[in-house]
Chain A
Amino acid sequence: MNMETKLEETPADLEDSFSPSSEEIESWMQKAFDMAKEALESGEVPVGCLMVYNSEILGKGRNEVNETKNATRHAEMVALDQVLEWCRQENRDPVEVFKQTVLYVTVEPCIMCAGALRLLNIPLVVYGCRNERFGGCGSVLNIPADELACSGAPFKCVSGFRADEAVEMLKAFYKQENPNAPKPRTRKD
């Protein structure tokens, strides 16, 4: 197993609850990977994620683009909706809850999801592999770190957890999706 997680920035200014131990990361990420596998089996892009608040899973998501015909239904957006639903049921203020919620996701959030996470003031994102095509946390753009005065607060990222495995799942998806497609151009890692 690849345990080579790297902290892009030391989250020293984050509260203790937002500096998850490697045991915590391992157990939450395991669940996120289970979600990604489920997506792969349903013919969706294999990305899985969880939103964890106070050691409780408030939202779980996997890609639902094909079934909704809505290209914005990424795993993160699906999970965010569940957190909002939880807030409604528990009569909690989403603003307060999101401020203390950590996202665990198998692939780097895309530019859209990074924008959404920022707008909701999510403080920390733990992810597996980079997203060379759409990545919004450094690969194509760096939304969490950029200066955007009217778009919520910057957030921290911890990346690289089981990255190889996450990449393998993506490769498996693109292989199965279109067997007739020409061989995809391979990127050197």
Chain B
Amino acid sequence: MEPQCKRRKPSENETIPWDVFPVLSDEQSQSITLLDAYAAPIINKKETSRIVKELTLLYPLPGLQHLKRVRACKGSGSTHPLEVIVCLVNDVRDIDSNTDMSISTLLPRAKMDSTGLGAPFLVKIPACPPLTRPQFEQASRHWPTSFHEDKQVTVALKGQLFTADQKAKMQEYMTAAVMAAKAGQDLGMDAVGAVIVDPQSGRILARGHDNRRGTHPLHHAVMVCIDLVAHGQGGGAYNFEKYPACQFLAVDSSHCPENGDISSSRIMFDSDQAEQSCVPYICTGYDLYVTREPCVMCAMALVHSRISRVFYATTSLDGALGTKYKIHTQKDLNHHFEVFRGVLKQECEDLKDSSAPIKSLKS
């Protein structure tokens, strides 16, 4: 590796390192919420299983199955080995809160034998099961919880989901989007570019740039690419001949596995899709690379088009895949997809800056 002597401006062909991060749902990315509860030390360890059994009957804690009822108090300097969640503060709300909670208030003698339990104290417990490792670590500081880790999300959050080869591919596709953005900019358009890729074959199926300052105010780069994919499938609604950087690749069904070519066979995730695997259907199974985060119109157009994954470089003020909305994780919608940000971030950041004033209408 060459030693880096001085900071210098990167030249045209040099790319600045970038990382790719998942854009998670609110449920996955927010910090955990906590509930107030009463816990008590188990003074007599031999009573533990009876206590837990009887507590579970008296205070079943519905919806909190992720919580471990008993926690060990190792090394905390306490005189008792275990602590147990007795109940939620809300479970005993009708008891006068001014009186100091004693174990006999929480566990009236008629209902349960509190032998073996010490004086209750207040704790905060996680209200929902943790979905990500950061949430799990945060939750565990309050009370032990179970955690069914989604390994892919954990790896993705560390920015380690993709191999160097995969990142090289991503860079290649995003570079194609940047080139399209620049071609559009030369025609007086906002510098936004996009490509749609079939990840199974590695081929770019459509490449386009923003045309909203040209023939159609709604021809954002994503909308252009969606129509170009349709052209490649023998459909399409618009003519982009005026824009030589807007191109599509014709795909046909002759590449079906049945026809002897496995290069374009897709891994299908359910039987419904498998039936249609030979006939390309809108953007099913495809990836989009776009230089900046799509707006709400484009994001929903991608839902309708059944896109598989979206990679964008930089965020947008009204962006709908992370900033203002997370359309890709929106509940009630019939299609969800993965979104990653950060690919070739700095290059696309520079594009955004160069976009602000229109230089000239002619190239």
Which A positions have Cβ atoms within 8 angstroms of B?
A: 64, 67-73, 77, 80-81, 84, 94, 110-116, 119-120, 132-134, 136, 140-141, 143, 146, 148-151
Q: Contacts A70-B236, A71-B304, A72-B301: A115 and B296 contacting too (C-beta < 8 A)?
A: yes
Main secondary structure of the interface of A (DSSP, over half): loop
With A70-B230, A72-B301 in contact, is A116–B218 under 8 Å at CB? Answer: yes
If A67-B235, A70-B235, A115-B297 touch, does A140 touch B217 (CB 8 Å cutoff)? no
- Chain B's nearest CB lies how many Å from the CB of A137? 12
The answer to whether the Cβ of B8 comes within 8 Å of any Cβ in the partner chain is no
Q: Which residues of A contact B320 (CB under 8 A)?
A: 115
Given contacts A69-B235, A133-B334, contact A151 B226 (CB under 8 A): no
Please list 10 pairs of residues, one from A and one from B, whose beta carbons are closer than 8 Å in the complex, sorted by A's number. Answer: A70-B235, A71-B226, A71-B282, A81-B237, A112-B300, A113-B297, A140-B330, A149-B318, A150-B318, A151-B318
B236 partner, pick from A69, A111, A115, A120, beta carbons under 8 A? A69
Interface residues of B (CB under 8 A from A): 216-218, 223, 226-227, 230, 233-237, 282-283, 295-301, 303-306, 316-318, 320, 324-325, 327, 330, 332-334
Taking a contact as CB atoms under 8 Å apart, the answer to whether B218 and A148 are in contact is: no
List, in ascending order, chain B residues with CB within 8 A of A67's CB: 235
List the B side residues contacting A148 at CB < 8 Å: 296, 318, 324
Contact status A70-B282, CB under 8 Å: yes
A72-B318 CB under 8 A given contacts A111-B300, A133-B332, A141-B330: no
Q: Are B300 and A120 within 8 A (Cβ)?
A: no
- From B306, B318, B325, contact of A71 by CB (8 A): B306
Residues of B within 8 Å of A111, CB to CB, are: 296, 299-300, 303, 327
A148 CA to B299 CA, complexed, in Å: 15
B216 in complex: contacting residue of A84, A112, A140, CB < 8 Å: A84
Residues of A contacting B282 in the complex (Cβ-Cβ under 8 angstroms) = 69-71
Contact B325–A72 (Cβ < 8 Å): no
Minimum C-beta distance from A85 to chain B (A)? 10
Neighbour of A69 across the interface among B233, B296, B327, CB < 8 A: B233
- Which chain B residue lies CB-closest to A134? B333
Contacts of A73 in B (CB 8 A): 237
The 8 A-B residue pairs whose C-beta atoms are closest, nearest first, are A69-B235, A115-B297, A112-B300, A70-B230, A115-B296, A71-B304, A111-B300, A69-B230
